[in-house]
């Protein structure tokens, strides 16, 4: 079934399903043609599910990257500038000398 979802020689698997008879009997060409309908519908539905999962994973990665960068998912330009200023201020280290401190 994984072979059919990956579209790797799916036609051979489908023809084997269609030609199959009972256990220990020779296959007969086009014996159970309704298996072709099952195989094609399985590939379509399975493909949609796999593509949907792939898209969800991509969106989740982009969401996590934006959350890491921005700190919030829906931030506008002003909020992004504020976040950048805060990050800049936190990265900056201020060094004082004893002569800089003035006591009034």
Domain boundaries of the chain, sorted by first residue: 2-68
Span 24-83, pLDDT tens digits: 888 888 888 888 888 888 888 888 888 889 899 999 988 888 777 766 667 778 877 887
| Cα 15 to Cα 19: distance, rounded to the nearest angstrom | 6
Global pTM?
Answer: 0.47
């Amino acid at each position: 079934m994984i072979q059919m979802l990956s579209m790797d020689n799916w036609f051979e698997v489908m023809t084997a399903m269609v030609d199959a008879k009972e256990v220990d009997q020779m296959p007969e060409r086009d014996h159970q043609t309704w298996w072709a309908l099952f195989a094609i519908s399985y590939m379509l539905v399975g493909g949609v599910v796999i593509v949907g999962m792939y898209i969800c994973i991509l969106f989740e990665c982009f969401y996590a990257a934006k959350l890491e960068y921005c700190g919030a998912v829906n931030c506008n330009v002003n909020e992004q500038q504020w976040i950048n200023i805060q990050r800049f201020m936190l990265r900056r280290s201020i060094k004082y000398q004893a002569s800089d401190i003035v006591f009034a």
